[in-house]
Amino acid sequence: MRQSIIKVAVHGVWATRSRIPVLRQDGDRSLRAAIIEQLLRLRCAPLAFGASDDHVHVLFWLDSQASLAQIFRAMKSASSRTVATSIRQQFHWQDGYAAFAVERDAIPAVARYVTRQRIHHAERSALAELEMPVSTPFEEALVREPTSGADWVITDSIG
């Protein structure tokens, strides 16, 4: 082939250091903008964003020229500066992140899950989520990963 083709949707999640709840809903728009800017710079198409008080979820199409480590480093670095400015104090993300490949047919459901994180966590605490019975590998991954939410889904990129 003359070019590399990758059609992989990635559901990424990362958390604040020590899971400190400093991500305010009124800062979601600027946090989302910082993350989208980095995804677009790396030629990844953003699909959904969501944040909770202590973690972020992002759903995006992976570009063939970018590594997951490079993408997450860029998103976390840019968004760290945004959060620090918003809360007016030093801020750090945890070192790690989680990345899950999402089947094409599951993208709409995962996008809803990602964008509804604040609602999801208002209804159920992360601790309660960890105590839930697990029935499928995907549900098991969702229970183990940190979660979050916000207010956008780009559906015309799915298709």
What's the per-residue H, E or C state across 72-121? HHHHHHHHHHHHHHHHCCCCCECCCCEEEEECHHHHHHHHHHHHCHHHHH
Q: What does the CA dihedral 101, 104, 109, 112 come to, rounded to 10 degrees? A: 80
Q: What is the b/e burial string over 88-108, where b = at least 16 CB atoms within 10 angstroms of the residue's CB?
A: eeebebeeebbbeebeeeebe
The pLDDT of residue 82 is 87
| C-alpha Rg value of the chain to the nearest Å | 15
The pLDDT of residue 76 is 96
**Per-position pLDDT tens, the chain of length 159:** 788 888 999 999 999 999 999 898 888 899 999 999 999 999 999 999 999 999 999 999 999 999 999 999 999 999 998 888 887 788 899 999 999 999 999 999 999 999 998 887 777 655 555 444 444 444 444 444 434 444 344 433 333
Its pTM surpasses 0.85: no
Rounded Cα–Cα distance for residues 8 and 61 (Å): 6
Query: Residue type at 74?
Result: A
The pLDDT of residue 158 is 36
Query: Residue type at 147?
Result: T
The pLDDT of residue 40 is 97
Rounded Cα–Cα distance for residues 40 and 55 (Å): 21
- Cβ distance 59 to 13 under 8 Å? no
End-to-end CA distance of the chain: 23
Provide the CATH number for the domain formed by 9-157 in this structure: 3.30.70.1290
